[in-house]
Amino acid sequence: MKQKLRLIQRRTVHYLLLLTYWVSKFFPLQQKKVVFATYRSDKLVDNFRAVYDELESRELGFQYVFLLKRFPQNVFGQIKYVFHMMRATYELATARYFIIDDYYYPVYVSRLRPGTEVVQLWHACGAFKKFGYSVLDKSYSPDDDYLKMVVIHRNYAKVYVSGEACIAPFAEAFGMDSSRIYPLGVPRTDQLLNQKRQLQVESKLYAQYPEWRAKKLILLAPTFRGNGQTTAHYDQELNFQQFRDQLGPDHILLLRMHPFVLNRPVVPAEFADQIIDMTDYPDINDLMQIADILVTDYSSVIFEFALLKKPIIFLVNDLNAYKEERDFYFPYESFVPGPIVSSFDDVITWIKTNQYEAEQIEDFAARFFTYQDGQATKRIVDHILTGALPDAAYQEEMKTV
């Protein structure tokens, strides 16, 4: 009965959006309208911020619409979200450019009218965990009723990825031709490669946390477990007492949980000077730039951190289960650029030994970033507006940067 009710709800929303799009086509397409739409954040951040700033700097007279709204957890919020999706559908039907950074349901419901381009600025760098059409045989996949109703990941005019190694995995995940997937970079990584910004970040954070200046900063930034936002959790045991006892007062642990995770680790008051929850800090790039070591698991944050050429430790105690549930585009054990450990105790041991292979991290970054010049945003905006791609001489030059 519950499953049947859910199917009725889905179909109701689907047909509402179909009707909304059909009606919206009677309104003129606005050649200067650019829409940014996501369910991941309520703020204009990361790739969206970078692309918006670049567009604005060119003074092209665009009108911007921002559909920035997290998907709510409660029933009343989800009902309101249906009306938000109806509005998004209208904006989609009347926009010149509709820019998204993740799965976005209204994009897939209807066949789009000519003149609208959906631009997929996927939120993650590299190609790591499988998703989309790559997981149809996994429990992570949408159920059959859902897939019969909607053609997921259709209608993308352009998809931007960090490097050539990502093209085949993304083509598989989106069920689309690889010719519309462009390895021009990820806009938010431009910040990481900007030395001036690096100094500004350090100045800002050291002003707020002056004790960090003489410490070694460990950033713990794992992904979530579960099938999505409503079931996301993280259950790895973290021994804060052992962290303090074995590493001493010269080490700070910064916790950065995935935004979907609701069961964040609770930091007892006696550890508050050394274990700091930075999950609500607005920009993870700042934390990566100031951190000395990253501890993660299956998070795509490894690609950005590899650009910084700093050590990464992989804390995983459920690798076989994760492979069964979701799997990876490349063999995990030989793919990740750092030691794989199964307990927080082992993480502490590796931090104490401080022995890492710098060349392994550099090779990893070179594999998944075609360019490391801090100009991804400019390349992508050029291509969105004109279709212009870097010429052969530029590509060859960037391979040596």
Rounded Cα gap, residues 347 and 354, in angstroms: 11
Q: Quote the pTM value.
A: 0.90
Nearest to 182 by CA among 138, 224, 119: 119
> What average pLDDT does the segment 223-247 reach?
80
pLDDT over 90 (residue 55):
yes
> Would you place residue 401 in the very low, low, confident or very high pLDDT band (cuts 50, 70, 90)?
very low
Domain with CATH 3.40.50.12580 in the chain: 192-368
Nearest to 107 by CA among 156, 58, 164: 156
CATH fold for domain 2-187+372-398 = Rossmann fold (3.40.50)
pLDDT over 90 (residue 385):
yes
Percent of the chain with pLDDT over 90: 77
Highest mean pLDDT of the ranges 224-228, 254-258, 375-379: 375-379
Given this model, what pLDDT does residue 395 score?
59
Please name the amino acid found at residue 356. Answer: Y
Collapsing DSSP states into helix, strand and coil, what is residue 98?
strand
Strands of the sheet containing 117-120, edge to edge, are 63-68, 30-38, 95-100, 117-120, 156-160, 181-182
pLDDT over 50 (residue 375):
yes
pLDDT over 50 (residue 393):
yes
CATH fold for domain 192-368 = Rossmann fold (3.40.50)
> Which contiguous run of DSSP H or E holds residue 341?
strand 340-341
Contact residues for 339 (Cβ-Cβ < 8 A; gap 6+): 313, 314, 350, 356
* DSSP, residue by residue, 116-161: -EEEE--SS-S--B--GGGGTTSTTSPPHHHHHH--TT--EEEEE-
User: Which phi and psi (to 5°) does residue 275 adopt?
Assistant: -115, 115
> Would you place residue 400 in the very low, low, confident or very high pLDDT band (cuts 50, 70, 90)?
very low
Q: What ranges in 217-266 are assigned the alpha helix state H?
A: 240-247
Rounded Cα gap, residues 30 and 51, in angstroms: 19
Please count the CA atoms within 13 angstroms of the CA of 302 that sit on its side-chain side. Answer: 29
> Which contiguous run of DSSP H or E holds residue 82?
helix 75-94
> What average pLDDT does the segment 66-84 reach?
92
Rounded Cα gap, residues 72 and 77, in angstroms: 5
Domain with CATH 3.40.50.11820 in the chain: 2-187+372-398
> What average pLDDT does the segment 302-325 reach?
94
- pLDDT tens per residue across span 135-167: 998 887 788 888 889 999 999 999 999 999 999
Q: How distant, in Å, are the alpha carbons of 26, 61, 157, 394, 399 from that of 387?
A: 28, 19, 11, 16, 22
- pLDDT tens per residue across span 87-123: 999 999 999 999 999 999 999 999 999 999 999 999 9
Q: How distant, in Å, are the alpha carbons of 62, 310, 313, 340 from that of 356?
A: 48, 9, 9, 12
- pLDDT tens per residue across span 249-276: 999 999 998 777 777 778 888 989 999 9
Question: β-strand 181-182 against 63-68: which pairing, if any?
Answer: unpaired
Rounded Cα gap, residues 50 and 289, in angstroms: 17
For residue 66, the Cα-to-chain-centroid distance in whole angstroms is 18
- pLDDT tens per residue across span 335-353: 999 999 999 999 999 999 9
Question: β-strand 156-160 against 181-182: which pairing, if any?
Answer: parallel
Rounded to the nearest integer, the mean pLDDT of the chain is 92
Rounded Cα gap, residues 177 and 86, in angstroms: 29
Given this model, what pLDDT does residue 259 score?
73
